[in-house]
Structure 1
């Protein structure tokens, strides 16, 4: 699963690739709870075990969905 996060201060989006077993509803619930509790950072753990802290008050949008298929390079018939 992939999460794309748009921040107010940045032109680029943050993309975090999560484990395939991650539940979309659970991720949305965790963000909603972090926002309601007025936490400064929302912590995510990516597929490789790295922790990513995202400032909750700077988030403009979150896109949660399946991982994009890899782009194919070359010609196909």
Structure 2
């Protein structure tokens, strides 16, 4: 986000395609806000005209257990 003291990091249950579509809609002017939902169900709203860049990472599998594989 432009003019923010640091980048915003968000872990989401949304797929990479869903996030990409939301970003594309915001940048195309179809939506005034980029709306994303984090893994705890909280909505994060960013004004579309304030987006500087968006990095979409790969999903990481959750590690459960104590043994080494």
The TM-score with structure 2 as length reference comes to 0.71
1:1-77 matches, cutoff 5 A: 7-19=1-13, 22-66=14-58
Unaligned 5+ segments in structure 1 are 1-6, 69-77
- Higher RCO, 1 or 2 (CA under 8 Å, sep at least 6)? 1
Q: Check the 8 A contact 1:17/1:47 in 2, yes or no.
A: yes
Comparing 26-35 and 50-59, the one that deviates more: 26-35
* Aligned residues between the structures: 60
- Runs (4+) of structure 1 exceeding 4 A deviation are none
Q: State the TM-score, normalized to the length of structure 1.
A: 0.65
